[in-house]
Structure formats: C-alpha cells, structure tokens
Amino acid sequence: MNDFLTVIWKELRELRSLQGTRPGLLRLGIVVGLFGVVLPLQHGPAWVVSPASMFVIGWLALFLTGTVIPDTFAGERERHTLETLLSMPLSDRAILAGKTTTGVLYGWSLAIVAYVLSIVALSQHGGQGWILPRPLFAIGAVTMGFLGAWLSAGVGVLVSLRAATARQAYQTLNISFLLIILVPTLGFPLLPVSWRRAATAGLAGVDDRILLLVLLCFLFLVDIAIAFAASRRFQRARLILD
Amino acid sequence: MQAIIMDQVTRDFGPTRALDHLNIEVPAGIVFGFLGPNGAGKTTTIRILLGLIEPTQGRAQVLGHDTRTGSDWIRHHAGALLEHHGLYERLSAEDNLMFCARAHGLSRGEARSRIRELLDGLNLWERRHEAVGGWSRGMKQKLAVARALLPRPALVFLDEPTAGLDPLASASLREVLADLAAREGVTVFLTTHNLAEAEKLCARVAVIRSGRLVAVGPPDELRARREGARVEVRGRGFEEAVLAEVARLPEVAGAEVVGDVLQVDLVEAGARFAPVVRALVGLGVEVEEVCRVHASLEEVFVSLMEETEA
C-alpha cells in the first residue's frame, strides 16, 4: 500500500507542476467552464436531466484522463527517468496501479466538478430553484465518469507502455478513441434496416435502469480486461530493453 | 565478505552476446571500478545486478541475494545512479529525494533529516525548493548521487557519474563521492571511462571488453604488470639506422623517437635494459638519461584493449 501511495504522491506532484502553471490552469478552466457553464446554458435543463448527461460526463472523464495518461510511461522513457523508477524498490503492481489511479482521479474528479458546476449554473440561470437530475441518472453519470476515466487510463497506459515518446502515445491514443467512436457511429447505419429496427425496438422496450446497468457492467468488464492486459504487458525487463 | 559475486554470467540479446561468462567478485566496503569501452557490457552488468534483467546463463549474487529471486530485496538495499541521472526535472530537489525516501519506506522525520544531511553536504540545501530542470548538469549529478545514497544503502551502483561534466565539476563530484563513500562505508560499484578517476577512487578494478573479463585486481597490481615495460632514453644521435638496430635487439619490442626522447618498449616488464644502453653507446648515441616509465592505468587499459583486439 505504501508503494501505491508513493507512486500516486509522485504522479500528483508531477501533475501539479505541469497543470499548476498559468497556461495549465487556463486550459483546465476553459475545459471545465465549457462543459460546466457554457454548453449547459446553451442546451438548457436537458443537459443535466436527460440520460445523455451520463454519456457527456463519461466522455468528458475519458477525454480529460486521455490528456495526461499517455505521458505516464512514454514520458518517463522520453525523459530518461523510467529506468531509475524501475530500479526503485516499488512493486510492479504499485507502479502500474499508482499511475493508472492518478489518471483516473484526475479525469474523473474534473468531470464531476464540471457536472456539479452545470447543475449550479443551470439552477442559478433558471431562477426557479434547483434543477436536479433523476438519482438514477446522477449515479449513472458519476459511475460512467469513473468507468470512462478508467477506460481511458487503461488504454492510455497500454499505449504508453509501448510508445517511444509521449507524443507518439498521444497520437496513438487519439486514433484509438477516434476508432472507438467512429466505428459504432458509422457502422450502425450500414447495418440492414431490419436489424436496426429490431435493435431500436428491443432497446425501447427495456427498462432504462436495466439498460444502464448492462451498459455499466459492459464498460466495467472492458476496463477489467484492459487493466489485465496492461498488467501482463508491464514487465521491468521488457520496459528497459524496449 | 563479498558484496557482489558474478558466476559465469552470460547475457544474450538475440544473436548478440552482451556478457560472456563473466566472473567477478567485489569485496564489501570498497570502491570497485568497472572499466571498459562503449558497448563492453557495463550497463548490462548493472541491470543484471539490480535484477532489472535476468542473465541468460550463470548466476549473480548481490549482498548475498540471488538477482533472479531476490531482486526486490536487492533494490531495497542498493542505491543506483544509472546511465541517465533519472531526476524528475519538473519536481524540486527535495521532492525528488522525498520520492526516493518514500519508496524505501523511510519515515517522514527520518527522510527529512536525511535529506537535510545530504543536501547540506553537497551545498544544495538552500536550493532544495527549486525545480531541478533549471540546474546545471553538475548539480543534477550531485543530486542524483545524493538520491543513490539516501536510503543508506549497503551497496551503490554509479554508472559513469562524471560523464559529460567539465573537469571542475568532475573533480568536485569525485571529491563528494570519495568523501561520502568513506563516511557512509558503502560498497561502490563504479563504471567510468575516466581512468584517472578510477585510479584515484578505486581499490580494485575490473576491465571488460565485448562482455568478457580482461583483467581484474587493484590498480597498482595492474600497473605493476606493465611497470618498466617502457624505457625512455634522453640524449642525441637517434638516427634512423640507430632505431633500426635497436629494434632488432632481442630485449626490444619496438622503439620510436618523440622529440629528443627515444621510447623503447621492452618485450616484457622485467627485461634487462643494460644491453640496449650498451648498444646505443656503441652506435654513437650520446646518452644523457635513462629511466623506466611508470605506467598509468590508462596505458594499462589501452594495452589490454590492444592485446584483446590482437
């Protein structure tokens, strides 16, 4: 546990030194302000009360985690600190879990801040009391944010373990996410009409709680599989010789 | 007691053999120099000793623990300054050391007092809050040495700690190393290209080339093997014909004139030089001074490299 907390401590210090600068804070302010104030006010209460809010928070957490996670191993390799890190008495699991957790905490917490901010902004703007999402959607948004951040961290770590430089890791991760988003978006209209109708009808008939649970379980399993793949890929000798 | 034992250690990277049946023993409590040209296998040796990679054949023990099965224990009890200083440049000096202290399980109070002690000793305490990215290379190397010594390791690996430093910074870091190593009483495994540095710091040295051990022993002993193998003659009349005659003598391996000095390499360190002097006088050379040259470790190293190449 000490190893795990030590890695998180170091990663948070590095994040602070990177994001704590004026340009870093400005970038964060713009993203949180955009998703916490500007877009909610443009879209109105639907931003927080519709089921889409869960996906927005999930995507935001995924995106924010993706801005820091590729640097974890590829950045260390590029800055020649990886071998020193690996020569320290820290367990493999602690290094991997510490880096992943820091990325998740970063993306998830900022996404939650933006979510809370959107509720406050819409409520203040409307002037008719609090505009609150259904508890199911609120829980769904928070969970989706966590799983989205975890997905991004898992894929990002896998990419980062292989990449020679942080830039290469960022590019590969962006392409991966583009494919994840584009394949279903472009692929669904290509399905036969009868299949699409059946899918839509089938989904319409399902209780939204069940649908949400299935979706979250699916994401959870994907996250677990990716975390397992990352732990298999993480080998000190391989990382050094790469 | 031996701090390090390498027994027939071999490491292959695909078709390339980086280490070839390496046998080394490093007694505890000394500065041990590990010398060799680029690509000789020095860094691979350190990686194996730290348990970061495994040998293909043979076994290595560090502080009594096998590098295959006890790598965690070894990393806990050994400090390391590897090829690159490995400092987090965005973090302050204090944070860099604190990370290392936490990784080694030092308590907060213990870590703070140790960091103060080391940074004070290196004249870096006043700058502890600065991000190290803005520091000179010499200061970073000093800090990296401090990090390696922070957990009071029984053994510390230093991979070319003075590489890329200017002579002043090198001398300063050498002083720091010698002082800290003596005070802390640790075993230091030092790889370096700087043979003068090895001569000054090391109680024993090993020379490797292409992954093979070429020589091992105290620097004095290695020098003694070459001691007296070269003789310098000061005088006048070193004509081409004289050189050719001298080179034909059975005691002589080679001869050349550098300025007004005739340098004669004998076939072996113990060879008699009187017949050469007699011959020189007989050939009409005015001999003013004759002296045997004391070999430096650098000359020993170069001759070892030439011998192995041959």
Q: In sequence order, which residues have a C-beta less than 8 Å from that of residue B111 and are 6 or more positions away?
A: B97, B98, B101, B102
- Model pLDDT for residues A160-175, shown as the tens digit of each residue: 888 888 889 889 988 8
Which residue among A18, A81, A240 sits closest to B52, beta carbon to beta carbon?
A: A240
Determine which helix (DSSP H) or strand (DSSP E) holds B253, and give its type and residue range.
Answer: strand B252-258
- Of all residues in chain B, the one with the smallest CA distance to A237 is B53
Identity of the residue in A17, A85, A241 whose CB atom sits nearest the CB atom of B90 = A17
**pLDDT at B303 (0 to 100):** 72
Please tell me which of the candidates A2, A79, A236 has its beta carbon nearest to residue B105. Answer: A2
Please give the residue of chain A at the shortest CA–CA distance from B100. A88
Residue numbers in A near B154 (CB within 8 A): none
Domain residues for the domain of A44 are 2-241
pLDDT over 70 at A205, yes or no? yes
Which chain A residues have a beta carbon less than 8 Å from that of B72? 89, 91
Q: Supply angle C-alpha B10, B14, B19, rounded to 5.
A: 20
Does pTM surpass 0.90?
no
Domains identified in chain A, total number: 1
Residue A6 to residue B103, Cβ atoms within 8 A? yes
| Minimum CA–CA partner of B144 in chain A | A84
| Set of chain B residues whose Cβ sits within 8 Å of the Cβ of A81 | 84, 86-88
* For residue A221, pLDDT beyond 90: yes
The predicted model gives A223-229 an average pLDDT of 91
Q: What is the pLDDT along chain B (310 residues), one digit of tens a residue?
A: 888 999 999 999 888 888 889 999 999 888 899 988 888 888 899 999 999 999 999 999 999 999 999 989 999 999 888 888 899 999 999 999 999 999 999 999 999 999 998 888 888 888 989 999 989 888 898 899 889 989 889 899 998 888 777 787 778 778 777 776 677 678 899 998 778 888 888 889 898 888 888 888 888 777 776 666 778 888 888 888 888 888 888 888 888 888 788 888 887 766 778 888 888 888 888 888 888 776 677 777 777 777 766 6
| Alpha helical stretches, state H, chain B | 42-49, 71-77, 93-103, 108-121, 137-149, 167-184, 195-201, 219-226, 240-248, 274-282, 297-309
* Parallel/antiparallel/unpaired status of strands B187-192 and B286-292: unpaired
* Token digits of residue B102: 């936490």
Please check the confidence at residue A181 and state whether its pLDDT lies above 80: no
* Facing B52 at nearest CB: one of A3, A80, A236: A236
Report the amino acid identity of residue A26. Answer: L
Nearest CB among A10, A237, A241 relative to B99 is that of A10
Is the dihedral angle over the CA atoms B128, B132, B137, B143 positive or is it negative? Answer: positive
Q: Contact B91/A3, CB-based, under 8 Å? A: no
Do the chains contact at B82 and A85, CB–CB below 8 Å? no
The residue in chain B having the minimum alpha-carbon distance to the alpha carbon of residue A241 is B53
The secondary structure of B198-246 as a DSSP string is HHHH-SEEEEEETTEEEEEE-HHHHHHHHTTSEEEEEEE---HHHHHHH
Q: What order do you get walking across the sheet with B2-13 strand by strand?
A: B16-27, B2-13, B57-62, B65-66
Predicted local confidence at residue B180, as pLDDT: 67
Closest chain A residue by Cα to residue B88: A81
Please answer yes or no on whether A86 and B52 come within 8 Å at the CB atom: yes
**Chain-chain contact of A14 with B105 (C-beta, under 8 angstroms):** no
B66 to each of B31, B50, B58, how far by Cα in Å?
A: 21, 10, 11
